[in-house]
Amino acid sequence: MKLCKPGDSDKAPRFWRDDALPFIEARSIADGREVCYSRHSHEHFSIGAITAGRSTYVHEQSRFEVDAGTVVLMNPGDVHACNPIDDQPWSYLMLYVDTAWLTDLQHQLGFANDQAFRRFAITHTQDMTLFNGLQNVYEVLVDQQQDVLHKHSAVAEFFTDVQLRLNPADQPLREPDTRLALAAGFIRDHCTQTLRLEDICAAAQLSQSYLIRAFKQHYGMTPHAFLINRRIQFARDQLRRGKLIADVALEAGFADQAHFQRAFKQHLAATPGQYRG
């Protein structure tokens, strides 16, 4: 189990992870007034609780003001950002959950075994049962006195509740755009390489003008921004494995460590060193 507390300042993010529970990671920020995220997405499912203050929550094409007591949800691939309003106090907790683990839980709850991850239509809620449940799970995870069985059980119980409350089986699914999905998949599969726009267009059989316009409309970011985001997700995984920051920067496709540091902080509001712990 690892609880990273970089520095002594409450402004620094705190990350928790445990090799015994590799499908979940936790993060908290006690003072988010200086935190600033660019639009980004994750491979995993993310859920967070605003524990104090207010912030702006951007989810794909929508923008909301959320305050203490709000639970926010991001499906894998959803473009989002959450940032402070002026100098108002703001703190939050986040859980990042492996998509395959959550998909398996959905199947256990009665979804067809051949069905992929069932996306959540809801972006945020003020369901106090879920809000309190998320806080309780976080406290259990970071408590070094709790054993793995208790932590695993608490996580499974909480996400079962999330699923049953917010994602009923009769909820309609958002239809994917197949050609744009091909473009995104090509970028994802080749994110550490030098990519050309024409290569992405060829993979998806789209014109350059259509790709640029439709990709941003669908994903909320340009193909280039999507590429940088994928490189950050790749780097995040490598840092969790204990690799050196300089090596990760090059493996992820960044020109140098300085460029990597800037991009990483824009996406995670933390430096690679703070994240790696």
pLDDT in tens, 254-265: 989 999 999 999
Domain enclosing residue 115, as ranges? 2-166
- Mean pLDDT value across residues 77-106: 88
Same domain, 100 and 6: yes
Integer CA distances (angstroms), 157 to 3, 20, 76, 153, in order: 22, 18, 21, 6
Q: For the whole model, what pTM was predicted?
A: 0.72
Distance CA 178, CA 231 (A): 23
pLDDT in tens, 178-212: 889 999 999 999 999 988 888 998 999 988 878 88
**7: pLDDT strictly greater than 50:** no
Tell me if 185 is assigned to some domain: yes
Helices assigned H by DSSP within the chain: 99-108, 128-142, 148-166, 178-189, 197-204, 208-219, 223-240, 245-251, 257-268, 272-276
Same domain, 128 and 85: yes
* CATH number where 158 lies: 2.60.120.10
Residue type, 239: L
Q: Are 70 and 131 in contact (CB under 8 A)?
A: yes
Same domain, 161 and 65: yes
Same domain, 116 and 79: yes
Q: For the chain, how many residues are written?
A: 277
Q: Specify the number of domains making up the chain.
A: 2
pLDDT in tens, 205-236: 988 878 888 888 888 888 888 999 999 999 99
Tell me if 161 is assigned to some domain: yes
Same domain, 16 and 128: yes
Other beta carbons less than 10 A from residue 267's beta carbon: 22
Same domain, 77 and 213: no
Determine the pLDDT at residue 5. 47
> Tokens 């119980």 label which residue?
157
Q: Are 215 and 180 in contact (CB under 8 A)?
A: yes
Tell me if 128 is assigned to some domain: yes
Same domain, 105 and 32: yes
Tell me if 8 is assigned to some domain: yes
Domain termination residue (choose one: 139, 166, 193): 166
Domain termination residue (choose one: 104, 131, 166): 166
* CATH number where 230 lies: 1.10.10.60
**Mean pLDDT score of the chain:** 86
Domain termination residue (choose one: 104, 137, 166): 166
Tell me if 151 is assigned to some domain: yes
DSSP string, 88-132: --EEEEEEEE-HHHHHHHHHHTT--TT---------EE--HHHHH
